[in-house]
Structure 1
Amino acid sequence: MFEIGDEKVIIVEGTTDKRKVEVIIKEPIEIICTNGTISIAKMDELIDSLEQRDVYILVDADHAGEKLRKQFKREFPEAEHLYIDRMYKEVASAPEYHLASVLVGANIDVHTEYLEKRMS
């Protein structure tokens, strides 16, 4: 779980999103799944556990993802929001090179081969 040096956290919707993102990332980052919508009680508990950490929200570009994003913006305005291109709709279906470039844009270290795939 949280270890010294894991100052960054990425929040995604599901386990498929988590698996897709974790192979791209090169640095130690905790990835938390919300499994869709999240209750206010769970949100408060999550926010309390994330104090003093850099939090990134990476959710799908669909109705459910936007609803979750709005909830995070309201309840946890300190979090940085990362956006995939709407044409991919879901984090899990976005190409690795696209996710890698989104993550690099947030100063998250990624395996460079995922950035190079776009060039090919």
Structure 2
Amino acid sequence: MKHLNDRVIIVEGLTDKKQLEKVIDDQVTIICTNGTFDVERFDELLESYQLDEKDVYILVDEDHSGMKLRKQLALELPHAEHIYVSSEYREVAATPERILAMLLLGKQIAVNPLYLV
């Protein structure tokens, strides 16, 4: 049985990570890919975070590079769940905290109630 802190969200950049950290009120590891997919670096992440044994969520921008990264990650982590930001906001960092909070709640990730108002 997995523990609640056995969850990982993969994002593109540091601004995405900071935006999520403001909203999340839960034990979740957030990994930045820095917008690129490098096989060696991914193998390191896979091993050091034991991604095959954890609940993984992919949350990337709705632009060309984000969709490309999502596709690559989906191939490597077929068990990962996807969280999509609206194409209206395009970027995770530009998505209002209230919207991110609702998306995360939909995946049973606790959020700061301040962002649910």
TM-score for both structures, normalised by structure 2: 0.91
Residues 41-92 of structure 1: CA deviation (Å, up to 9, x unaligned): 2222222332321111100000010000000111111111100011101000
- Which consecutive residues of structure 2, in runs of 5 or more, have no partner in the other structure? none
How far is 1:5 from its partner?
5.4
Give the AA of the match of 1:37: T
2:91 aligned with 1:90, yes or no? yes
Give the AA of the match of 1:64: S
Partner residue, 1:69: 70
Q: Give distance in 2, aligned partners of 1:15 and 1:45.
A: 19
Partner residue, 2:61: 60
Residue 88 of structure 2: SS of its match in structure 1? helix
Contact 2:9–2:30 (8 Å) recurs in 1: yes
**Equivalence map 1:30-45=2 (5 Å):** 30-45=29-44
Q: How many residues align?
A: 113
Give the AA of the match of 1:29: V
Residues 15-65 of structure 1: CA deviation (Å, up to 9, x unaligned): 000000011001111111000112112222222332321111100000010
- Off by >6 Å, runs of 4+ in structure 1: none
Q: Give distance in 2, aligned partners of 1:33 and 1:73.
A: 16
User: Percent identity at matched positions?
Assistant: 50
**Equivalence map 1:1-120=2 (5 Å):** 6-48=5-47, 49-116=50-117
Give the AA of the match of 2:42: M
Residue 21 of structure 1: SS of its match in structure 2? helix
Give the AA of the match of 2:74: K
Q: Give distance in 2, aligned partners of 1:41 and 1:76.
A: 15
